[in-house]
Amino acid sequence: MTNRRPAAATAVTPLHERTFLRWAMMGALTAGLIGGATLLRAESHENVTVSHGYSFFGDLKYDADFEHLNYVNPDAPKGGEISIAGQGTFDSFNRYTLKGNAVGLANIGDEDMVTSFADDPTSIYCFLCETMEYPEDISWVIFNMRPEVTFSDGTPAKAEHVKLFFDTVMKDGLPSFRQAFGNFVDSVEVLDDYRIKYNFSPDSPKRDRIGLAGIIGPMHPTWFADNDLTLDNTWPRGPMTGTGPYVLESFDYSRQVVWKRNPDYWGNDLNINVGRNNFDRIRIEYFGDSTAALEGFKAGTYTFRTENTSRLWATAYDFPAIENGWVKKEELDDGSLGRMQSFIFNLRREKFQDIRVREAIRLMFNFTWSNESLFFGLYERPSSFWEFSENASSGLPSEGELAILQPLVDEGLLDASILTEEAVTAPTSGERQLDRRNLRAASALLDEAGWLVNDEGLREKDGEVLTVEFLESSPSFDRVINPYVENLKRLGIDAKLDRVDPAQEQERARSFDFDMTTQGFSLGYEPSTGLKQWFDSSLRDDTSRNLAGVADPAVDRLIDVVIASETSEELNTSVQALDRVLRSLKFNVPQWQNTKHWVAYWDQYEYPDPLPPLALGQLDFWWFNADKAAKLKEEGAL
């Protein structure tokens, strides 16, 4: 079955995703004089830290003069091509708007002031800046830019161009993004050609201030005027001119996109980039569906594949190129945070407001049978939104959790059972597709909720039949959703699978036009303000993250507690409490998870061993072996 854990490539995601993914990954970037020299500003008597990086829960892993990242091969050769598959269609290169369908890799670059590393997820480091400086109260931050940074056309990138991007985003960016920046930033000042200062709102969360400001980099000063476009348009002819290591070489709508390495890239000799950006070309071949994509890989149409489907991984990799040793098939360790992939309910629909209805539907998904019969026993089932971390709740609440939850119970925002019951886990099932014990329990819940069986065997309440429609675009999900649909029909629910094309799925998800669909929750090691995008009621209908429509006052309060955490212990405890409450709402049906990277590739690539825990990095720090590639050609493989 498909596991929708995102591939750990360094492809740039859309701005609204990139922003909150970074918040999630770097999370509690709170005030601390860590990893840098502290200076006393005579004119203001402020203690100011000047540093190459920023962290809170511990020291920075890398000092300012490190030679290269620990997980790269500093001697990796440059050259060759890597090609991957894309699915669906695209009509735009604009990743800053929800309009249109942006190409999967809308740009490949380092357009942010700061970055994080695959072995240090709780810190940020200067990238386009040389240093950052900030006072103890984090009321402002100054980024001191590298004067050598240029756009790919040779135009110098300066502080005024960073402010230009900020102003443009605040004018034409996504509403949720504008709101986030508006709540954090009071003003932005250009101090000189290469120094930009962000002044923060005094009531904004300190932990996120520097990380948020650091995601804005420079915008090319004339690109919009030259192309007669704005930030909120689709960009049909290519991406905005950036500062990254790759530039667009060619594209054919919905068929192919090719990026080429910029030989004049300003950051070629930067220590952060040693052993990275190794391929001369990155090619993306587009396919209409997953079956066609696999056949394309077998034929050598593209050369690197990350497999997300257990059935294919178990059964489809026995083709001649594997047998000849031309293609390598490997399971590589994935040490990243667990991802709660789930069927989610659209809580905006009245029929799902009753938790008994949701629990009944949850009971009818049989993971045990699915894993053995459909997934070849390759998956585990997640329980927590923070699986494999200290943030996961388990068993009865700890004393720290009780201290956080009790006031919410006293105010009537939570049922008292949250204090005495163990953390909710996914329902268990037997080895038969239809678990009759769960069927009886689900039937009782629907009876209690007033959904009674009519003469036609359907559940009905107040003249309305209980229907459940699954929105899905991937054909590989048919074999797991259809048995789920059959189980729901046995319960008396009029259930069906509505499989649409990817563009329709995206549009309907954006407009919340669905009963149930699949979503993965990537919430980070040290979560903070980004949680509002996922679960806060104030952004329920203004974010693409909160597809389920969670709007619960207790959750809102707990998010504020998480954001206000000032120690790692406080953070772990508050997130555990939030995890416990989210799970108690039962707005999702946990699916499955994989702790491995399943990869297959034509044997012309190599990677550092061991890989870093938090990234596969095939587009980042893998490299091309020219001798192996020549051998494949000599043998007629490619």
The pLDDT value recorded for residue 1 is 58
Residue at 475: amino acid letter = P
Domains located in the chain, CATH noted: 31-60+110-227 (3.40.190.10), 340-590 (3.10.105.10)
The helix-helix angle for 175-184 and 159-172 (nearest 10°) equals 120
Strand partners, 468: 495
Work out the burial of residue 359: count CB atoms within 10 Å of its CB; fewer than 13 is exposed, 13-18 middle, 19 or more buried.
Answer: middle
Contact 484, 472 (CB under 8 A): no
401-455 pLDDT, tens per residue? Answer: 999 999 999 999 999 999 999 999 999 999 999 999 999 999 999 999 999 999 9
CA separation for the pair 550, 536 (Å, rounded): 7
Q: Which residues of the chain have pLDDT under 70?
A: 1-45, 106-107, 109-110
pLDDT in tens, 96-139: 887 888 887 766 766 799 999 999 988 999 999 999 999 999 99
pLDDT at residue 385, rounded to an integer: 97
* pTM of the shown model: 0.84
Would you list the DSSP string of 402-457? HHHHHHHHHTTSS-GGGGTSPPP-PPP--SSSS-HHHHHHHHHHHHHTT-EE-TTS
* pLDDT value at residue 106: 67
Rounded CA-CA distance 316/508 in Å is: 32
User: Residue 182's pLDDT is what?
Assistant: 85
Strand stretches in 281-417, DSSP E? 281-287, 304-307, 327-333, 340-345
* CA 417 distance to own-chain centroid: 33
* Distance of alpha carbon 527 from the chain centroid: 13
Element (H, E) at 180: helix 175-184
Which CA distances in Å does 558 have to 395, 499, 500, 553?
19, 36, 37, 9
Total Cβ atoms within 10 A of residue 462 = 6
